[in-house]
Amino acid sequence: MQPFPTKKYINVFLGLGSNQGDRAEQIRKATALVVQYIGKIAKKSHVYETEPWGNPGQEPFLNQVIMVNTVLDPRALLDAIARIEKEMGRQRKEKWGPRVIDLDILFYGKRIVRDKGLDIPHPELHKRAFVLVPLMEIAPDWEHPVLKKPVDELYMLCDDPSEVVMLES
């Protein structure tokens, strides 16, 4: 009898957002593709409707944060995210512009990664209520490895006045 495989799983937190088309369906489809290409979803927040950040002249977003168990290294995770976004029809036309789907790596375990096109933890997450509110729902005590503060404290220190409204499940 062979022993169970001993791959090392790591908890990663991903932010999902959509403000084009059937936003709720885009979030559902993205989570299904995350399971297919990245790993098992261990936790997920409710879905929240939020104001657009950085470029206010567009439709509101639906946002969600998920915790995924994965064996992918950070670069392979980024590649899988790019594949999901491409498969769902995302086109990168303008910074903070409308999008069918947006997936961001918020945390990769407790690791700090600063590499070409890859910044983990996400360098802006502590400034964005639409990330902190759903993240706080599933991991309020998770400590930011750079700022050395838990998520719930980061939310209390956040200056973003945007409204983040939980949708009914």
**What are the residue numbers of the active site?**
90, 99, 102, 104
Sequence-separated (6 or more) residues with CB below 8 Å from residue 9: 39, 69, 70, 71
CB 2 within 8 A of CB 52: no
Q: What is the largest CA-CA distance in the chain?
A: 61
Q: Is 127 exposed, middle or buried (0-12, 13-18, 19+ CB in 10 A)?
A: middle
Q: Is the preceding peptide bond at 60 cis, omega within 30 degrees of 0?
A: no
Nearest to 29 by CA among 85, 95, 93, 105: 85
